[in-house]
Amino acid sequence: MPGNDEKTEAIDALLATPNLANALESDQFRRFLDQVPIAIVVSRMLGREHIAYANPEFEKLSGKKVESLAGKWWDSLAGESESDPTIKLGDAIVSSLDAIGCFKIERGGGEPVIVDVYSNIIVDDDGVPAFRLAALVDVSSHTLSKRQELEQKIREKDALLLEIQHRVKNNLQMIVALIRVEARNAQGRIDTAPFDRLAGRINAIQLLYKLLASPSQENSVDLGVYLSEIASSVMHLHATEGIRLDLKVDTYPVSVNVAMPTGLVVNELLTNALKHAFVGRDHGTITVHSIVDHGGCRIIAADDGIGLPEGHQWPEQGGLGALIVRSLRENAKAGLTVESKPGQGMRVTISFTRATSAPENPAPSGGG
């Protein structure tokens, strides 16, 4: 017996038959459908729509005599959606096209059968709907025990992923610590700034993994919480007396593809500000605001320091910072603007629309 994938391919091949509307009028083609190992039901749509044909495989699948369907409406096909019993098989065939879901058909005195249902409209040479064709593929072999076994495997996989995330987070913490130890040991002998930048970037990723490992997180990251943790971590590691943090964030769930480059960019900006923006000053303010409205989210990372030196830009071309910003623009679909004036500081604005930053939804299960 062909598998379900092969049956789906057979349905596609059937629907691709040249001049299918004319073929359905042919006794020879109907004799061909009589031999197809897929349940097929066809209605004639010209005039009052009514069922005009059902093959022996449908009779075998449903327990209904083919003759009992002739001339009737689709509601004569008994069946209901597996995911929503209020959705009836006949109504779904008429209201939907292509793969319309998984349905249960009760058979008098026998076990119910579970079917995947496909529906399509066949037009004539003038483009006028002539027939409606429904195909039903038996998936009853996907028994309850097999479904429960699959669900258990999915739960085990989720637990394994959480364990992997936990171990990665711990390993990142160790890497950050080792880099900082080496940087301290190398002070006075080599430039340790690249060590510090690398440690900061890895720390930002480690904080993201910590959030992902939270049981409350599924396929999203709260950008407000993530940016708060990054800002607190950077201020703690590079604490400078007289420099304060103005932090204001709104809750905003985003995909990991948005959270990671955003966090790396904000980490870069705060680290640079603490090291370079307040040279020769004993006070200053670093601002991190993440403001959400009906259109999306706007992030402001700013300082009131000395601004960029004359002839400099941020990010510097060819550096890792430029690569991160490019990822933010291309992968996270963010807008980014940079403003800087001598003696008045630097301000970077990152903006997302809801459509481009929303977390991905899990694939829906079959249904009506």
Nearest of 201, 224, 200 to residue 211 by alpha carbon: 224
Q: Which whole-number Å values give the CA distances from 342 to 244, 284, 308, 309, 347, in the listed order? A: 20, 15, 7, 7, 12
Nearest of 162, 101, 159 to residue 134 by alpha carbon: 101
Query: Is the CB of residue 286 less than 8 Å from the CB of residue 303?
Result: yes
pTM of the model: 0.50
Q: What is the pLDDT at residue 48? A: 86
Mean pLDDT of the region 67-92: 85
pLDDT in tens, 131-186: 888 888 887 765 556 656 655 665 665 565 555 555 555 555 655 665 666 566 66
Structure tokens at 255: 């995909």
Q: Worst-scoring range by mean pLDDT, 31-35, 182-186, 313-317, 345-349?
A: 182-186
The average confidence (pLDDT) of the chain is: 78
Q: In the structure, what pLDDT confidence band is assigned to residue 106 with cuts at 50, 70 and 90?
A: confident
Q: In the structure, what pLDDT confidence band is assigned to residue 337 with cuts at 50, 70 and 90?
A: very high
User: Residue 5 pLDDT > 80, yes or no?
Assistant: no
Phi, psi dihedral angles at 253 (to 5 degrees): -70, 130
Distance CA 142, CA 40 (A): 21
Q: What is the pLDDT at residue 158? A: 59
Portion of the chain with pLDDT greater than 70, in percent: 72
If one counts every other C-beta atom within 10 angstroms of the C-beta of residue 43, the result is 21
Count of alpha carbons within 13 Å of 141, Cβ hemisphere only? Answer: 6
Q: Worst-scoring range by mean pLDDT, 10-24, 281-295, 317-331?
A: 10-24
Q: What is the pLDDT at residue 231? A: 93
pLDDT in tens, 224-271: 999 999 999 888 877 778 899 999 999 999 888 888 889 889 988 998
Q: What is the pLDDT at residue 297? A: 93
Q: Which whole-number Å values give the CA distances from 328 to 16, 28, 131, 264, in the listed order? A: 43, 60, 50, 9
User: Residue 221 pLDDT > 80, yes or no?
Assistant: yes
Handedness of CA 89, 91, 93, 96 (dihedral sign): negative
CATH number of this structure's domain 219-359, picked from the four choices 3.90.660.10, 3.30.420.10, 3.90.180.10, 3.30.565.10: 3.30.565.10
Instruction: Please name the residue ranges forming H helices in the chain.
Output: 4-15, 20-23, 27-35, 56-62, 89-95, 144-186, 193-212, 223-237, 256-272, 320-330, 354-357
Amino acid at 368: G
Q: What is the pLDDT at residue 220? A: 79
User: Residue 368 pLDDT > 60, yes or no?
Assistant: no
Distance CA 108, CA 92 (A): 22
More confident residue, 292 or 3: 292
- Between strands 296-303 and 39-44, the pairing is unpaired
Query: Is the CB of residue 92 less than 8 Å from the CB of residue 116?
Result: no
Q: What is the pLDDT at residue 366? A: 40
Distance CA 53, CA 63 (A): 15
Structure tokens at 148: 């429960």
The continuous run of DSSP H or E covering 51 comes out as strand 50-54
Q: In the structure, what pLDDT confidence band is assigned to residue 29 with cuts at 50, 70 and 90?
A: confident
4-142: CATH number:
3.30.450.20
- Between strands 284-293 and 243-249, the pairing is parallel
